[in-house]
């Protein structure tokens, strides 16, 4: 495997194997090897029927990778609901037949380890695990838990907790680093969507192992990424202690294409960074919790652009007048946070290019937006950015929003008019207007929604949609059918990404590569 060549960490990648039959497990083991896994976790509790003597021999003999056997009981979140002695006997048998690792739960670990004392094969290791499906305890409680696990005679400690918010993961990182100092191998994972970064960043903090699934959607615990994403999207093998962490702060954040874009770009220029999705509920708490300069820069998206601005030590004048940032950089010398807004640059230049293209205006002329009526749908961070940018280029700006008061407030700030979203249906002071949707109306999964009825689109010469998933929204499709030039959100996305990449890395953005990557979506 090519992915084996560059390794900046010793963290192993384990593929959980869950199947109802031994035959299916054997097939999945081969898939796991092909996908780049270092070992497999064989979940015996997923088998519909299990004959320990025969099946363990087959599984160990047929497996092309080192094996970890887990026989998880119902009381620890697994599927086994039978006799406890039979369960532990099967694990002891796996050890005798040549398993590399077995996982036993903290509750039964002491007596289990005593029962195999003096019988352990040389390279065989016992992982003692504790799973908390409710929350992530304090650092002190986690420290005590690790000590309790060690006292049972564990070779490797495993703790899995649940993230109620992304700040919980920081405590698991702290415990992982602390365990390095006392040289105890530790697997420390935070389950759930808010714990996702624990699975990607564990090699940075020295975790023993992370889990990646062989197919998407088939997980053995909530929030598991696929092996393919870990290796090829997040470049897992190249994450080391000195890797800088960047990411997108949003809610939701799963739809974002930013990780694909930045990670591929980082790799292409040899920049030691990783870019991850941060599902954040409270921005101020997130930025206070991850205050190390290793967390070096953030893209901000809906709904956090305004709150992120308040957390910055300094804000560039454009972002200040917009009242929103979409990029926060942490200065490496003192950790101070600087806020920028690159949204409007990407969007406005894409709209100008669209207008120039449709009227063959030379690029050297004044902005084709000068004197145009420019309708912005939405009064949030992105709406402010576009309104500000259009005004700066000499357009007359009208803000349309569901609630009139928010539209009025923004219109007063930048010097423009305000209408409600419902008013747009019959809004037609002039022909050849420009429309810019900055709300999430029409974004996946609600692709059949649109902010404005089709018959009203004939009054516009150009329609822009900040939504870029899907690339052609219902709004853009209907605008094109009505004869307008359309500009998709991916143009805005690329434009702001160039500038963010340069702020993150201090290197020129690989523009050709960015376009090539975006073309795949």
158 is an active site residue = yes
Q: What is the C-alpha to C-alpha distance for residues 300 and 322, in angstroms, rounded to an integer?
A: 14
Return the closest-CA partner of residue 205 out of 185, 221, 224, 231.
185
User: Dihedral of CA 253/255/258/264: which sign?
Assistant: positive
> Checking phi first, is residue 153 left (phi over 0); if not, alpha (psi -120 to 50) or beta?
left
Which of 131, 244, 304, 391 is catalytic? The answer is 131
Which of 55, 343, 393, 465 is catalytic? The answer is 343
Residues 6 or more apart whose CB falls under 8 angstroms from that of 313 comprise 336, 337, 338
Q: What is the C-alpha to C-alpha distance for residues 225 and 208, in angstroms, rounded to an integer?
A: 17
Distances in whole angstroms, Cα of residue 105 to Cα of each of 88, 98, 113, 153: 10, 20, 11, 12
Q: Hey, what are 487's tokens?
A: 């500009």
Find the radius of gyration of the CA atoms of the chain. 27
Which of 33, 103, 158, 307 is catalytic? The answer is 158
User: Which residue spans within 56-203 are E strands per DSSP?
Assistant: 67-70, 101-105, 125-131, 156-162, 186-191
Q: What is the C-alpha to C-alpha distance for residues 33 and 431, in angstroms, rounded to an integer?
A: 62
Which of 33, 204, 244, 305 is catalytic? The answer is 305
Q: Hey, what are 337's tokens?
A: 């946070």
305 is an active site residue = yes
List active site positions.
131, 158, 305, 343
């Amino acid at each position: 495997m090519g992915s084996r060549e560059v390794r900046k960490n010793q963290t192993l990648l384990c593929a959980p194997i869950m199947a109802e039959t031994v035959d299916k497990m054997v097939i999945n083991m081969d898939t796991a090897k092909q996908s780049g896994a270092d070992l497999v976790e064989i979940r015996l509790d997923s088998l519909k029927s299990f004959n320990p003597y025969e099946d363990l021999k087959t599984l160990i003999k047929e497996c092309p990778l080192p094996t970890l056997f887990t026989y998880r009981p119902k009381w620890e979140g697994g599927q086994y609901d039978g006799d406890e002695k039979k369960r532990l006997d099967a694990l002891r048998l796996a050890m005798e037949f040549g398993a590399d690792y077995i996982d036993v739960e903290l509750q039964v670990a002491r007596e289990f380890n005593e029962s195999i004392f003096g019988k352990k094969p040389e390279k065989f290791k016992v992982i003692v695990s504790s799973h908390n499906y409710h929350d992530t305890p304090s650092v002190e409680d986690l420290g005590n838990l690790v000590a309790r696990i060690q006292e049972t005679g564990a070779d490797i400690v495993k703790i899995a907790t649940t993230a109620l918010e992304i700040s919980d993961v920081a405590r698991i990182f702290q415990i992982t680093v602390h365990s390095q100092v006392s040289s105890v191998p530790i697997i420390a994972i935070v389950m759930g969507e808010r714990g996702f970064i624990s699975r990607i960043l564990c090699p940075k903090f020295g975790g023993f192992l992370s889990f990646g699934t062989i197919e998407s959607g088939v997980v053995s615990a909530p929030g598991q990424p696929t092996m393919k994403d870990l290796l090829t999207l997040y470049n897992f093998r190249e994450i080391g202690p000195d890797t800088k962490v960047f990411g997108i702060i949003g809610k939701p954040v799963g739809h974002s294409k930013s990780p694909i874009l930045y990670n591929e770009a980082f790799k292409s220029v040899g920049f030691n960074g990783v870019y991850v999705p941060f599902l954040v509920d409270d921005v101020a708490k997130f930025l206070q919790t991850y205050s190390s300069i290793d967390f070096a820069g953030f893209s901000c998206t809906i709904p956090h652009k305004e709150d992120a601005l308040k957390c910055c030590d300094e804000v560039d004048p454009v972002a200040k007048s917009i009242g929103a940032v979409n990029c926060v950089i942490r200065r490496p010398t003192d950790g101070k946070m600087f806020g920028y807004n690159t949204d409007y640059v990407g969007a406005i230049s894409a709209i100008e290019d669209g207008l120039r293209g449709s009227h063959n205006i030379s690029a050297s002329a004044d902005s084709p937006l000068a004197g145009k009526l420019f309708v912005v749908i939405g009064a949030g961070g992105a709406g402010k950015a576009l309104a500000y940018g259009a005004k700066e280029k000499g357009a007359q700006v009208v803000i349309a929003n569901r609630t009139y008061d928010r539209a009025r407030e923004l219109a007063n700030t930048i010097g423009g008019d305000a209408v409600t979203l419902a008013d747009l249906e019959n809004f037609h002071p002039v022909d050849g207007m420009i429309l810019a949707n900055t709300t999430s109306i029409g974004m996946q999964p609600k692709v059949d929604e649109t902010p404005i009825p089709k018959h009203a689109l004939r009054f516009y010469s150009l329609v822009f949609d900040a939504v870029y998933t899907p690339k052609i929204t219902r709004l853009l499709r209907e605008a094109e059918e009505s004869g307008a030039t359309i500009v998709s959100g991916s143009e805005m996305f690329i434009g702001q990404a160039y500038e963010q990449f340069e702020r993150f890395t201090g290197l020129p953005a690989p523009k050709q590569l960015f376009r090539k990557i975006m073309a795949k979506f």
